[in-house]
Amino acid sequence: MKKTYKIDVDCANCANKMEEAACKTAGVKNAVVNFMTLKMNVEFEEGQDPKSVMQEVRKNCKKVEDDCEIFL
């Protein structure tokens, strides 16, 4: 399953950090952050609950970029 989320981030470097953090989160098969459109596309692993996985993605992104936001 793939979903797109609106994000708020200040710079392209921060967006890259968010993408790396999201990709390392359990339950995420792949994640791509587009700084120009301020969107994060997430592909979830089979059988995962997107809501609970995205809570972990948000926590992991906040660790690397504390002023970023993902609108769930």
Contacting residues for 72 by C-beta, under 8 A, at least 6 apart: 5, 51, 54, 55, 58
What gap in Å lies between CA 27 and CA 57, rounded to an integer?
9
Distance in angstroms (rounded) separating the CA atoms of residues 49 and 64:
23
Please give the domain boundaries of the chain with CATH numbers for all domains: 2-71 (3.30.70.100)
| Structure confidence by residue, pLDDT tens digits, 18-71 | 999 999 999 999 999 999 999 999 999 999 999 999 999 999 999 998 999 999
How much is the pTM?
A: 0.94
Q: Measured between alpha carbons, how far is 55 from 23 in angstroms, rounded to an integer?
A: 14
The stretch 1-30 carries a mean pLDDT of 97
